[in-house]
């Protein structure tokens, strides 16, 4: 079975890599690529700049060959600065996908939700409802809550990472890990899982079986402005104090605090 997917994504290496994964595996792929630099008006400290450079290096090591072995067609794609713009919506309607997947883009508004109701799968690099918003696999390192590092595939709605959960998974950890190796390995696992889910013969049924997120008191919501030099210093200090090793030693206990809502693969 060949499935027709519209991927609405940002334009970092991880987002390009997912597009390449779908192409490599024979999907008919359309793309909406949002070109937006969220930090263009931000003066970054040296430590924050080094943090993003290190992430890019790790992701390049993981994904570079994948992206370059699978050059993407220029036909069925559109670049934009606003995923909710009229031309973008018209492109999506004309492409007429079976499934829409979002990864790293801005929040979709009502035209999308109306046109593709029950067919939009959102990728959230974090475990909802515990961590929502931006940097949701970074701030668990700040708060020493590594049991909350993971990803969520959800039935998209108009809220901030509040959709019904289709599938979730925890990150895996190794003694020598840092934030970037943990995060990039998790993304690679997410690629494998989303391929399995996208290949399900009756994927619409998985949307119907998705589980509503519970209301919890300790839900944390972060914005990009919360990623500060102070937060980065705290995360790095925690790593120096061996929180990864501590998490590995107590992983089952720490995960109890952040139970997965649903797993299907």
Residue ranges of domains in the chain, CATH in brackets: 4-256 (3.40.50.170)
**Cis check: omega of the bond before 129, within 30 degrees of 0:** yes
What pLDDT, on the 0 to 100 scale, is given for residue 97?
A: 95
230 has pLDDT over 70: yes
pLDDT at 38: 55
Identify the band that residue 74 occupies on the pLDDT scale cut at 50, 70 and 90.
Answer: low
Residue that is written with structure tokens 């701030």 in the block? 139
Q: Is the pLDDT of residue 156 over 60?
A: yes
Mean pLDDT of 198-207: 84
Least confidently predicted of 10-24, 29-43, 79-93: 29-43
pLDDT value for 136? 97
Q: What is the pTM of this model?
A: 0.93
Which ranges of 36-178 does DSSP label H, i.e. alpha helix? 46-69, 86-95, 110-115, 139-142
Tokens of 237: 């200090």
Buried b (16+ CB within 10 A) or exposed e, 63-92: beebbeebebeeebbbebeebeeeebbebb
Predicted confidence at residue 45, as pLDDT, reads: 82
Provide the pLDDT for residue 200: 83
The closest of 172, 257, 174, 163 to 216, measured between CA atoms, is 257
Give the dihedral sign, CA 76/21/203/147: negative
DSSP codes joined into one string, 207-232: HHHPBPPPP-TT-EEE-GGG--HHHH
What is the share, in percent, of the chain residues with pLDDT greater than 70?
Answer: 94
* Confidence (pLDDT) at 93: 95
* Nearest residue to 235 via CA among 169, 180, 188, 172: 180
Facing residues of 122 across strands? 102, 154
Contact 123, 103 (CB under 8 A): yes
In this model, does residue 158 exceed pLDDT 70?
A: yes
Kindly give, in sequence order, each residue whose CB lies less than 8 Å from that of residue 199, ignoring residues fewer than 6 positions away: 1, 3
Over the stretch 39-55, which tens digit does the pLDDT of each residue have?
A: 554 557 889 999 999 99
Among 60-69, 139-148, 211-220, 253-262, whose mean pLDDT is lowest?
60-69
Q: What's the pLDDT at 69? A: 63
pLDDT of residue 229 exceeding 60? yes
pLDDT classification of 70: cutoffs 50, 70, 90: low
Identify the pLDDT of residue 75. Answer: 67
The span from the CA of 263 to the CA of 212, in Å, is 13
pLDDT for res 71: 64
Q: Which residues contact 127 (CB under 8 A, 6 or more apart)?
A: 136, 148, 149, 150, 151, 152, 168, 170, 258, 260
Average pLDDT, the chain: 91
Q: Is the pLDDT of residue 36 over 90?
A: no
């Amino acid at each position: 079975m060949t499935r027709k997917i519209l991927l609405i994504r940002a334009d970092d290496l991880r987002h390009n890599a997912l597009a390449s994964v779908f192409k490599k595996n024979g999907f008919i792929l359309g793309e909406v690529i949002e070109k937006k630099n969220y930090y263009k008006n931000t003066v970054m400290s040296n430590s924050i700049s080094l943090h993003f450079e290190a992430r890019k290096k790790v992701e390049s090591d993981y994904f570079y060959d994948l992206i370059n072995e699978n050059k993407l067609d220029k036909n069925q794609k559109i670049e934009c600065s606003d995923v909710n713009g009229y031309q973008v919506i018209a492109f999506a309607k004309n492409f007429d996908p079976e499934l829409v997947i979002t990864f790293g883009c801005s929040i979709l508004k009502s035209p999308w939700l109306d046109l593709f109701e029950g067919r939009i799968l959102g990728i959230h690099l974090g475990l909802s409802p515990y961590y929502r918003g931006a940097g949701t696999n970074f701030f668990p390192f700040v708060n020493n809550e590594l049991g909350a590092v993971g990803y969520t595939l959800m039935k998209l709605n108009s809220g901030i990472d509040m959709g019904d959960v289709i599938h979730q998974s925890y990150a895996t950890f190794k003694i020598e890990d840092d934030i970037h190796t943990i995060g990039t390995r998790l993304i690679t696992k997410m690629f494998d899982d989303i391929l399995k889910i996208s290949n399900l013969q009756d994927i619409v049924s998985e949307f119907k079986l998705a589980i509503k997120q519970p209301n919890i008191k300790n839900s944390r919501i972060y914005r990009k402005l919360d990623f500060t030099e102070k937060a980065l210093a705290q995360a790095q200090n925690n790593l120096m104090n061996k929180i990864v090793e501590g998490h590995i030693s107590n992983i089952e206990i720490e995960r109890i605090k952040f139970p997965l809502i649903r797993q299907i693969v």
